[in-house]
Amino acid sequence: MPLIHILGYAGLVPFIGLTCLQLWPQLMTFPASFTAFQSYSQIILAFMAGVLWPVLYQHSGKLFPLWVVSFALAGWFSSLLLPKQQLLVLAAAFIALRLFEYTQSSQLDYSPAYNRLRNHLTTVVVLCHLLYWLSLTG
């Protein structure tokens, strides 16, 4: 397995771990789990949007730069919302980022293996956000 895949899947550990701690608090008491989940989510969203920056330089003059920056800003602005709203905004931002990548596929030179990786990562991240959100609604 290529290192990028190992690192990508390893990046899911905080999402999955913190979601499990929220769903089953008897595993371990960690009072800052939401803050950790939310901040990690913002960091990863900004990182994933930042991966698009090299393409930005190839397509100056289009609205591409605004889209790329908007994902990181949406993550940051979500911190001004209530926790349940933050989770939904962040989940939507991850979905929107992946959809944006699909619409820009002619400019993005992703291999089929990297596309599969991104699909897997986005799916798990969004599911973790939704499970965490469900745990707060109960």
Report whether 133 contacts 88 (CB < 8 A).
yes
Tokens 């990028």, located at residue: 4
Predicted TM-score of the model (pTM): 0.91
Highest mean predicted confidence (pLDDT) among 20-24, 58-62, 67-71: 20-24
Look at residue 64 and tell me whether its pLDDT is greater than 80.
no
pLDDT value of residue 45:
97
Residue-range domain boundaries for the chain: 3-24+33-137
pLDDT (tens digit, 9 = 90+) per residue, 4-54? 999 999 999 999 999 999 988 777 776 778 999 999 999 999 999 988 877
pLDDT (tens digit, 9 = 90+) per residue, 91-137? 999 999 999 888 887 677 888 999 999 999 999 999 999 999 999 98
Give the residue-averaged pLDDT of 53-63: 67
pLDDT value of residue 60:
59
CA–CA separation, 118 and 132 (whole Å) = 21
pLDDT (tens digit, 9 = 90+) per residue, 71-100? 999 999 999 999 999 999 999 999 999 998
Burial 42-63, CB ≥16 within 10 A → b, else e: bebbbebbeebeebbeeeeeee
